[in-house]
Amino acid sequence: MALSKAQIQRLQMARRQAGIPEDEYRDMLANLLPDCTSSKDPRLTNEHWDQIINYWEAVYWRRRSRGELAPPGRNAMFQTRGYWAQKNKRGNTSRDRFTSNDLAGQIAAAEARLLALGKGPHYCAAIRSRIGGDAASPLQQRKYLAALEKTTEAAAQRRSEVPHA
């Protein structure tokens, strides 16, 4: 999924704060993705955003410790050393955190739809166990939701194909 307008704006804020020249920025994008020269490229994902921010954070604090850059301003991206690196761990992107608030409700609704189709709670538990991994991670929860939705769609389709007597 392409970066949101807010993510693109924050990238530009971070680039300026870290003192990254425009040509270096374009080279970095091209290294991430072939022929990518703009943050508006639809191939850029949340993982790319997190990688760029983590890298620029390290650059900022290295330059800051050498006295090359001014202290962070009130609305600066890099307020505290290591903030983005700690926050943006693999599988826990900014968009994951944004959407995770609604994820539990989406899962509950999908489970309810399966129950309405005659599949019991043990059926949902079996789907969750097949997904594996840490059930609390946003990535695993998304996989579980996708599996529930796919199963619900297939069960509803089978139900509509059954001839009524």
Q: Are the C-beta atoms of 43 and 33 separated by less than 8 Å?
A: yes
Alpha helices, H only, the chain:
5-18, 22-32, 46-65, 83-87, 94-116, 121-131, 138-161
From residue 107, give the alpha-carbon distance in Å to each of 42, 139, 148: 28, 13, 8
102 and 76 belong to one structural domain: no
pLDDT of residue 78: 86
Whether 125 contacts 162, CB under 8 Å: no
pLDDT for res 133: 63
Which residue type sits at 8?
I
- Mark whether 110 and 44 lie in a shared domain: no
Residues 99-121: tens digit of each pLDDT: 566 778 888 899 999 899 888 88
Do both 10 and 82 map to the same domain? Answer: yes
Are 14 and 53 contained in the same domain? yes
Mean pLDDT for the stretch of residues 109-134: 86
Work out the pLDDT band at 21, boundaries 50, 70, 90: very high
pLDDT for 97: 56
Same domain, 103 and 36: no
- Find all residues with CB under 8 Å of 44, minimum gap 6, and list them: 2, 3, 29, 32, 33, 36
The pLDDT-based confidence of 145 (bands split at 50, 70, 90) is confident
pLDDT digits (tens, 9 = 90+) for 24-47: 998 888 888 888 889 999 998 888
Residues 79 and 133 in one domain: no
Supply the pLDDT for residue 5.
92
pLDDT at site 9: 93
19 lies in the same domain as 52? yes
Same domain, 39 and 78: yes
Domain around 136? 96-161
146 & 102 share domain: yes
Domain boundary residue, one of 61, 90, 119: 90
CA distance 139 to 103: 11
Residues 100 and 82 in one domain: no
Question: Which among 90, 107, 128 is the end of a domain?
Answer: 90
Share the mean pLDDT of the chain: 83
Residues 10, 65 within the same domain: yes
Domain count, the chain: 2
The encoded tokens of residue 78 equal 């890099």
Per-residue pLDDT at 93: 55
pLDDT mean over 91-104: 61
In this structure, are residues 72 and 113 in contact, taking their beta carbons and an 8 Å threshold? Answer: no
Given this model, what pLDDT does residue 17 score?
92
36 Rama class: left (phi>0) / alpha (psi -120 to 50) / beta? beta
50-89: pLDDT as tens digits: 888 888 888 888 898 889 988 888 888 888 887 777 776 6
Same domain, 18 and 77: yes
